[in-house]
Chains A and B, each alone.
Chain A
Amino acid sequence: MAYLLQHLLRDSAARSPERPAVADGDLFLSYAELDALSSRVARALLAQGVAPGDRVGILARKSAPSVVALFGVLKAGACYVPLDPKSPAARLAAIMTDSGIAVVLADQATARQATELSGSVPALRAVVVVAGPHRGGEAPVSPDPVSPGPAVVPWAAVLAEPAGALPGDRSIETDLAYILYTSGSTGTPKGVMISHRASLTFVDWSAACAGLGEEDRVCSPAPLHFDLSVFDIFASCKAAACLIVAPENMTVFPARLAAWMDRERVSVWYSVPSVLTMLASYGNLRGAGLSRLRTVIFAGEVFPATHLSRLMAELPGPRYLNWYGPTETNVCTWYEVPPGAALSAPVPIGKACANTDAFAVTADGERVAKPGQEGELHVRGPGLMSGYWGDADKTAGVLAGNPFQAAYHELAYRTGDLVTLDEAGDFVFLGRRDGMVKTRGYRVELGEVETALYAHPAVREAAVLPVPDELLGNRLRAVISADEGLTREEVLDYCRRRLPGYMVPDVVEFREALPRTSTGKVDRTGLQSTDIQRWDEAGGQ
């Protein structure tokens, strides 16, 4: 019975020990190797005092070693927290402090960065270095410990741990498997807590929906802290398929990406639409082969109809699946794009996934039942998050009771997304209720960017507005009134030290003062409508 994520690995390693589990450039891991190495990592974590329920950071890009690391954390009964190596140190420290991380797994490239974090996270007591199995060549080196700083456990010490299965489980299915930090409206990132049960609800459905089997070679360029990565890591593992790791920067050059996908015989692809738009426009797809590619899945933002049509015309072979859902539910609805359809509007987000229910509630509290009615999408089922780490109030605000269940208390998640129904009974996304926007597939709370701007001593007023962009979803435009002398470069620099790259404003505009409404609030509507034109004239695009 598989009720923990690591049971998927146990079962696939028993059933198909020699099948490839991860292909990462020259580094291959079979299911038997992934199982054995992750058991060694788990024991190394236990030796560092990691207890059931502890949060363990993983500071690494997606790679064979980081897949070993996250299964090691789960086998130790702990919960993993992905830490993006490209995030500013201040944000990483905030996440580590918030979630109470004392042990971090790093790879060769990030080991030093991890030890240096102890400067701002005094609770950090150990950094465990994870690499791959050696196939000849030199043993990887570990960084010199920062003194005084956390203990550094080198990969050689991890390899000295026994490889056999750990006796017994250290978790139950309602325990947390991972915490994914997303943008928070009040200025600090919030940790979305996902249990084993919630994750497996998605994994079981997604593996079946994509029809994954042992022969599949599954690739998603999404990093570990983006919930798209749950699919290629865990659904592949369930099916004993092979996870293909895209090399760093591979998605930058479309034709090279297409040629690489063909060479790697990728059969299932999962990414945000913008990468696929680039492939359709510049990927030279008709010459790229890609005969093995049988399923293309996209999620994270709206796929403009013109670009999706072009992609499907250039590459007519695969199935095209639109998966929808916030991190709090992983995927909750899905839609298969009919082949050859003439698309004039973004495709629907579709119907609820297996073992999940989705319904929309109108402003009057009625259930949306027919086309034309609008309401906020609600989701119920075992796939919901457990809440936001350490924030019961924020959790209660979105994990409210199911308004249509009077007999007993049942949780339903309010997505904040406004939807309607089409004639076929599919949900269609209309927009957001609040200040959250999508850019590059990531969600950004405009308030979090504004809070970062207000933290600058020279900033008097700040408003961040979305500028719709076909490729990016939205670009971010900051309008600021500030003391004399503050430059655009200083503002951007300041943001980059506090926010991940996708949250840094694309455009910075200075004003004497921000317009106000009669109630004294910043007049966002006024800023948005009157200024786009001026901004366009100034050369923005």
Chain B
Amino acid sequence: MEAVINEYISKELVQDSALLPLGNATSLLETGVLDSLSLLRLVVFIQERFGIVVDDVDLVPENFDTVDAICAYLRTLDGGKTGQAAGRA
């Protein structure tokens, strides 16, 4: 999962090649990779790739600041909430 998300962010969202290879613990906010529009693209990708729905209230830095954080968040959805979240669409 880390590899898939890292690859998407590296290929599609990172503009500054000095950030590559992208560390899974690198802050996407502090490095300017995430702004309001790149976040939206990332969310759309994650929803389509993993078949889940990201709830408004889950769109917080704690869940999206690093590749590791995104994966940890996605695993909490896998742990039972995924179906429930998908049902909210």
Contact = CB atoms under 8 A, between A and B. Distances in A.
A151 to B, nearest CB: 31
A255 B60 contact: yes
Given A253-B64, A282-B59, A493 B17 contact: yes
Interface in A227-272: 249, 251-256
Interface string B49-78: 000000011011100100000000000000
Nearest to A495: B15
A386 to B, nearest CB: 33
Contact of A501 (B15, B20, B56): B15
Contacts of A541: 41
Given A501-B15, A504-B15, A471 B40 contact: yes
Contacts of B17: 489-490, 492-493
B15 A275 contact: no
Contacts, number: 61
B56 A471 contact: no
A130 B40 CA distance: 36
B20, B43, B56: which has the most chain A beta carbons within 10 Å? Answer: B56
A252 B56 CA distance: 13
A86 interface: yes
Interface residues of A, number: 26
B32 interface: yes
Given A253-B59, A255-B60, A501-B32, A274 B37 contact: yes
A496 B36 contact: no
Contacts of A278: 36-37, 40
Contacts of A471: 37, 40
A492 B15 contact: yes
Given A282-B59, A283-B56, A252 B15 contact: no
B56 A255 contact: yes
A472 interface: yes
Contact of A440 (B20, B37, B43, B60): B37
B66 to A, nearest CB: 14
Given A489-B17, A501-B15, A252 B34 contact: yes
B57 A255 contact: yes
Interface in A343-366: none
B29 interface: yes
Contacts of A108: none
A251 B29 CA distance: 11
Given A282-B56, A282-B59, A252 B35 contact: yes
Contact of A252 (B16, B18, B20, B29): B29
B22 interface: no
A252 B18 CA distance: 22
B40 A253 contact: no
A395 interface: no
A493 B20 CA distance: 12
B39 interface: yes
A284 interface: yes
Given A255-B56, A284-B56, A501-B15, A249 B29 contact: yes
A440 B38 CA distance: 12
A253 B61 contact: yes
A501 B56 CA distance: 27
B16, B61, B64: which has the most chain A beta carbons within 10 Å? Answer: B16
Nearest to A471: B37
Contacts of A251: 35-36
Contacts of A489: 17, 20
Nearest to A440: B37
Contacts of B60: 253, 255-256
B35, B37, B41: which has the most chain A beta carbons within 10 Å? Answer: B37
26 contacts: A251-B36, A252-B39, A253-B36, A253-B39, A253-B60, A254-B59, A255-B57, A255-B60, A256-B60, A256-B61, A274-B37, A275-B36, A278-B36, A278-B40, A281-B40, A282-B40, A282-B43, A283-B56, A471-B40, A472-B37, A489-B20, A492-B15, A492-B17, A496-B16, A501-B15, A501-B32
Q: Give the 4 A-B residue pairs with the shortest CB-CB distance, closest first.
A: A284-B56, A489-B17, A255-B56, A493-B17
Interface of A: 86, 249, 251-256, 274-275, 278, 281-284, 440, 471-472, 489-490, 492-493, 496, 501, 504, 541
Given A471-B37, A471-B40, 4 more contacts: A252-B35, A255-B60, A281-B40, A496-B16
